[in-house]
Structure 1
Amino acid sequence: MNIKLYSSSDQSRWDAYVKNHPLGTHCHLASWGQVIENAYQHKCYYLMAEDSNRVVGILPMVHLNSLIFGNSLVSMPFLNYGGMIADNPNIQKALWEEAINVAKKIKASYLEIRHSQPLSWIKKGDKTILKTHKVSMLLDLPSSSEQLMKSFKSKLRSQIKRPQKEGMTAIIGGKELIDSFYKVFTINMRDLGSPVHSKRLFWEIFQNFSESAQIGVVFWKHQPVASGIVLGFKDTMEIPWASSLRKFNHFSPNMLLYWSFLEYASNSGYKKFDFGRTTPGSGTYRFKKQWGTKPSQLYWYYWISEGLKRKTFHPDHRRFSLAISCWKKMPVAFTRLIGPQIRKYIAL
């Protein structure tokens, strides 16, 4: 067996492996490297294990290097999943060890691997850390949206109908809705105190995933008030990004947005809907839980370099609480201009 760096000529074999592996997700697909490189100019290190010219394992990684946020190697930044998928644990281990070698070569302070399953062969120690602070919220879908609606409690059904009674409508489409999506997204990110992603990132997503990506927008009097993006892969539809305008919260446009996606996913034949990651006990957790979701534990593994101390290692940038408070007060036009230059280095 040998491990090599992926090249564009390997894409069909790489993606075929991801599609056929039970733990392969859309986050493992080769096109994400092109999306991130084109949008943010980050260098990607995609490792591919081969045996007798047959793909037996893969590991996609992205190099983030910033004076403010540090030097890291992440699988996968901006997404919920990543990590090694392979034919057996020995190949996984070989990919992990090669990833550490790459991290050392590029002088990364740490390596971050986002897994949906535990890796029992990783020995936790001074240089290896496991964080289990996040879960994914998953909902099994019936064969029709009518069955799904009937399964909801009456309170939830009333919340879904409320925005419709106020004259709100939902549309699901493609890249023609990017501007409407981004208008809501930028305002919401500013209100949360978070730098916004570049619009170019979303254009690249639809350039590379046009057949599996959809945008949903809720309108009120021709104004977008809630929006989100979903990606379908295998039997699961996932919602990585969703936003709504706070001043319309009393009309619950977010409920109509999520229902529209669930309706679309169920009627399109998907078996599961992934509401994305969240912290147990948080407000976001409770919002996702009300739909009948079940939490699925996530396992984020870290290798830290000699220069970092285990006790003070916090990759979630919690030390920037003051900057978050200040960002909330910035004009949206400013955050839209400056935000992407910051957000591109934040792996979350």
Structure 2
Amino acid sequence: MLRIRELDAGAEPAWDAFVQATPEATFFHLAPWRHVIERAFGHRTHYAYAEQDGAIVGVLPLARMKTLLFGDALISTPFCVYGGPVAATPEAARLLESHARDLMRRTGVPSLEFRRRDVADEGWDERPALHYTFRRAITGNADADMKAIPRKQRAMVRKGIANGLTSVSDRDTRRLHHVYARMVHALGTPVFSEKYFRLLGEAFPDAHDVTTVLHEDKPVSAVLNFHFREEVLPYYGGGTPEARGLAGNDFLYWEVMRRAGAERGARLFDFGRSKANTGAFDFKRNWGFEAQPLHYCYQLREGAKLSENNPSNPKFKLMIAAWRKLPLQLANVIGPTIVRGLG
């Protein structure tokens, strides 16, 4: 008999075993995200799985992101780039989808969104193309992977090496946050809390590291990386104002690629999500990665409107300009309260 169950602590090992064994599942389907979202942002999660003959045959990570500023939505999964139900059978997939729609009706939430990486959900509406992901195979051989980088970008990596940059790999999310906060403030974006970065490290103790680039023993750029199967996913990263002249960000991602391939056996580099027509989008293409559109599919309750809570929305231009003028210390205090609605 196929049935839906709510995830509890006792079922988490079986949930994660299913995710690890299912090719369509991603790092963002893992169960620890549930605790991170609840503890870092205070959002209620609704993780459910399909069970048949005592075994998990499908999973659905889902959370309700409700804030006064940015509205109310059920999303699989906020603060993650991929999501949606993953199942071993079409029947389990349909049951999980039906469960999500029923939850939307019962809670009165205006919208339900699945963040699909590869294909859209049949019969669902899809957001206009905005977010793209960048994924490419790597060999683990430093010489071969360096040669695979386009010539101009390869020159930037070598510029960083010539500037005497070095890297360290550890779990220092506090140092990372200091670098990251300066960067997002300059961009006019509210910053995540240091607590969020710490919780991510605690939730995935063996599946994360922090790569930091140093110039004369001072950090100039850093990134939090996740490791899943044979993939490396640099996720939250940034650089100081000095990084640009030193090619610090170029050297940073080369070091992530080199270290992950040699030290962890990574064979796929997932450069993460970027919005079209942004500097990050162009930067990733300069590495020879092909932009792949993400399929963010949704359903709405009758009369509801789809929210557009992203910095590319023109209505946020004045807010971004004002945010850049705030003192960094004040922005770091206020930012986490705002960003909990921008996942």
Q: What's the TM-score, normalizing by structure 1? A: 0.92
Please give the alpha-carbon distance, in whole angstroms, between the structure 2 residues aligned to 1:335 and 1:130. Answer: 30
Please give the alpha-carbon distance, in whole angstroms, between the structure 1 residues aligned to 2:328 and 2:273. Answer: 26
Q: Is the 8 A contact 2:170 2:211 kept in 1?
A: yes
* Aligned counterpart, 2:55: 54
Deviation at 1:295, TM superposition (A): 2.6
Counting aligned pairs with the same residue, the percent is 26
Q: Is the 8 A contact 2:112 2:299 kept in 1?
A: yes
Deviation at 1:28, TM superposition (A): 0.3
Equivalent runs, 1:134-145 vs 2, <5 Å: 134-145=131-142
Matched, 1:29 2:33: no
Secondary structure in 2 matching 1:55: strand
Q: Is the 8 A contact 2:226 2:232 kept in 1?
A: yes
Q: Is the 8 A contact 2:190 2:331 kept in 1?
A: yes
Deviation at 1:35, TM superposition (A): 1.4
Q: Is the 8 A contact 1:76 1:83 kept in 2?
A: yes
Residues 105, 321 of structure 1: alpha-carbon distance in 2 compared, 3 angstrom cutoff: farther
| Match 1:304 to one of 269, 291, 300 | 300
Please give the alpha-carbon distance, in whole angstroms, between the structure 2 residues aligned to 1:107 and 1:324. Answer: 31
Counterpart code for 2:209: Q
Counterpart code for 2:251: L
Counterpart code for 1:146: D
Residues 315, 309 of structure 1: alpha-carbon distance in 2 compared, 3 angstrom cutoff: same
Secondary structure in 2 matching 1:328: helix
Matched, 1:207 2:202: yes
Which 10-residue stretch deviates more, 242-251 or 139-148?
Answer: 242-251
Which 10-residue stretch deviates more, 231-240 or 217-226?
Answer: 217-226
Deviation at 1:130, TM superposition (A): 4.3
Equivalent runs, 1:218-233 vs 2, <5 Å: 218-233=213-228
| Residue-by-residue CA offset, 1:320-341 (whole Å, 9 max, x unaligned) | 2211111111111011111111
- Please list every run of 5 or more consecutive structure 2 residues that lacks an aligned counterpart in the other structure: none
Deviation at 1:315, TM superposition (A): 4.4
Equivalent runs, 1:124-203 vs 2, <5 Å: 124=124, 128-174=125-171, 177-203=172-198
Residues 344, 314 of structure 1: alpha-carbon distance in 2 compared, 3 angstrom cutoff: closer
Matched, 1:269 2:265: yes
Q: What's the TM-score, normalizing by structure 2? A: 0.93
Q: Is the 8 A contact 1:80 1:240 kept in 2?
A: no
* Aligned counterpart, 1:92: 93
| Residue-by-residue CA offset, 1:206-258 (whole Å, 9 max, x unaligned) | 11111110101112233221110110101111111111123431221000110
* Aligned counterpart, 2:232: 237
Matched, 1:43 2:44: yes
Please give the alpha-carbon distance, in whole angstroms, between the structure 2 residues aligned to 1:309 and 1:69. Answer: 12
| Residue-by-residue CA offset, 1:134-170 (whole Å, 9 max, x unaligned) | 2210121013112211333443232112223333221
Please give the alpha-carbon distance, in whole angstroms, between the structure 1 residues aligned to 2:135 and 2:153. Answer: 17
| Residue-by-residue CA offset, 1:14-60 (whole Å, 9 max, x unaligned) | 01110111111110000111112122221110011111222111110
Deviation at 1:292, TM superposition (A): 2.0
Equivalent runs, 1:305-320 vs 2, <5 Å: 305-309=301-305, 313-316=307-310, 318=313, 319-320=315-316
Q: Is the 8 A contact 1:231 1:237 kept in 2?
A: yes
Counterpart code for 1:134: H
Residues 280, 129 of structure 1: alpha-carbon distance in 2 compared, 3 angstrom cutoff: closer
Secondary structure in 1 matching 2:338: helix
Counterpart code for 1:87: A
Q: Is the 8 A contact 2:120 2:126 kept in 1?
A: no
Please give the alpha-carbon distance, in whole angstroms, between the structure 2 residues aligned to 1:325 and 1:119. Answer: 35
Q: Is the 8 A contact 2:173 2:201 kept in 1?
A: no
Q: Is the 8 A contact 1:131 1:301 kept in 2?
A: no
Q: Is the 8 A contact 2:132 2:273 kept in 1?
A: yes
The alignment covers a number of residue pairs equal to 339
